[in-house]
Amino acid sequence: MECISDQKILESIEGQASKLEMSVYRDHLLVCPHCRQVADRYLALNRQLVKPVLYEPPLTIVRKVMATLYPDFPVYSSLLALIASSFVFLVTWIYIYFDFAHNSLVKALQLTSDSASGWLTQAIKFISTVFSLVYASFKAIHAFIAIVFKTDVSVEAITAFMLTMSLLFFFILSRFFARRLKGNRK
Amino acid sequence: MRKYNRKIFNYVIRMVRHEETAIELTQEFFIKIFVVLDKYNFEYKFSTWAYRICYNLVIDHIRKNQVQLASLSDDAVSARTMLESDNVVRDDGFRNLANEETKAYVWKLIERIPLKYRELILLKYIQDLKYEEIADITDLPVGTIKNRIFKAKEILKKEIDKDGMH
């Protein structure tokens, strides 16, 4: 039998030939040392090709792309968002942990602020309102998770969730104001 | 971006064979992907669509700049010489080199085969694509792709035989 062409040998070792052709080539390879040698060479070559030697891309690529796509990202906005959300996180955590909703001191402050005036009472009212809103949203999320997933989620998990959400919220807010500021400057 | 960065950079650098150009083109590719993301056709796999953009970008660059890349057929410097310059030659010559060295040698050779073969070898083995996906990217028939990849392997095998790197 005549020797098989290189292409046919390659097709057979890569499983691209038909079953009939494969069996014919296999039989030939058993009796033909030349074709067997060619097949071995291609097998060795394929082994080198399937695991390529890769160059490590420089880190500057990602940095430059991000700098082009988001020129002022993320120094100013994200820092602002982080500070704001950390504040919300801290306040929420203290409020929930110490159960300030039922704390007599807070209640007393609220009552006092109702009958008083000045910036301090306004501040107390504001903080109290923020606290109440945060506490209400905490309760709502807790109830929602309990209904949907039929499980009781820990205070820590909900607080972490609220932190993430507030981070996102403040980030979007700060981006919005940063853009407006930029627009006004232009 | 990190997922594709390595593969794209390796594809580009082996196509243009110039590091600075490869870095610029890789950056250009990622920026382009972000810009034209809304035009993404969901009929394609995302990777195929992205590689198609990359392929067109590189081919355009090569055409525009008329990059004359020395290929095996017209280059007197063999991959063996390149390996010598990379200090990976062993005391016992080139035969029976360690696997990693042989691999490095083979991939150096790939950088020197003619562009029409190299682009397909790179898509197949760097990007790990199927023939049909390569056909979608390059607009070439599957048969042509198979033939060219075979031709590329034939050139590589001949070169390996010539250099005695078995």
Residue keyed to tokens 């499980």: A151
Q: With an 8 Å Cβ cutoff, are A69 and B5 in contact?
A: no
pLDDT at residue number A164: 78
Q: E strands of B35-142, at which residues?
A: none
Q: In this structure, is the dihedral angle defined by the CA atoms of residues A125, A127, A130 and A131, taken in order, positive or negative? A: negative
Query: Chain B: nearest CA to A107, how far in angstroms?
Result: 52
pLDDT at A138 > cutoff 80: no
Chain B positions in Cβ-Cβ contact with residue A68 (cut-off 8 Å): 27, 31
The 10s digit of each residue's pLDDT in B57-69 is 999 999 888 655 5
Q: With an 8 Å Cβ cutoff, are A65 and B31 in contact?
A: yes
Chain A positions in Cβ-Cβ contact with residue B2 (cut-off 8 Å): 62
Higher pLDDT: B50 or A136? It is B50
Angle at B131 between CA B126 and CA B135, to 5 degrees: 100
Query: Chain A: nearest CA to B112, how far in angstroms?
Result: 15
Interface size between A and B, measured as CB pairs under 8 A = 75
Per cent of chain A over pLDDT 70 is: 75
Higher pLDDT: B143 or B100? It is B143
| SS3 of residue B5 by DSSP | helix
Higher pLDDT: A122 or B135? It is B135
Q: What is the ipTM of this complex?
A: 0.75
pLDDT at residue number B73: 46
Q: In this structure, is the dihedral angle defined by the CA atoms of residues B151, B152, B157 and B159, taken in order, positive or negative? A: positive
Mean pLDDT computed over B118-133: 91
Residue B145 near residue B135 (C-beta atoms within 8 A): yes
